[in-house]
């Protein structure tokens, strides 16, 4: 799965249960939290997807962050 931002805990769990073997993301969850700040509609939960996948029994390869500055531009003006 290729995504612009690191999967949140819920999305990482869903990706795990679908059987995905690899996730490639641009913007890290930590950086997204910096961008969103204390936004009431998006209380970002800074839990790396590697931690979520690591709790499972199936290996999921995680590649990222990749091109984080470029991926961050997608968030401009959204928060």
Residue 79 inside a domain? The answer is no
**Is residue 19 a part of any domain in this protein?**
yes
Asked if residue 66 is part of any domain, the answer here is yes
DSSP 6-64: ---HHHHHHHHHHT--EEEEEE-HHHHHHHH-S-TT-------HHHHHHTSSS--EEE-
Q: Average pLDDT per run of 10 along the chain, which is 79 residues long?
A: 95 97 96 84 84 97 97 87
Domain of 31, in residue numbers: 2-73
Q: pLDDT at position 61, please?
A: 98
Q: What is the pLDDT of residue 79?
A: 72
How many domains are there within the chain? 1
| 21 domain-assigned | yes
15, part of any domain: yes
pTM tops 0.85: yes
Tell me whether residue 22 is in a domain: yes
CATH number of the domain to which 16 belongs: 3.40.140.10
């Amino acid at each position: 799965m290729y995504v612009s931002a690191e999967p949140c805990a819920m999305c990482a769990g869903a990706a795990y249960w679908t059987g995905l073997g690899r996730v490639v993301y641009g913007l890290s969850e930590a950086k997204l939290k910096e961008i969103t700040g204390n936004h009431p509609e998006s209380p970002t939960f800074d839990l790396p997807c590697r931690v979520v996948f690591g709790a499972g029994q199936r290996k999921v390869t995680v590649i990222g962050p990749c091109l984080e500055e470029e991926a961050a531009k997608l968030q401009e003006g959204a928060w």
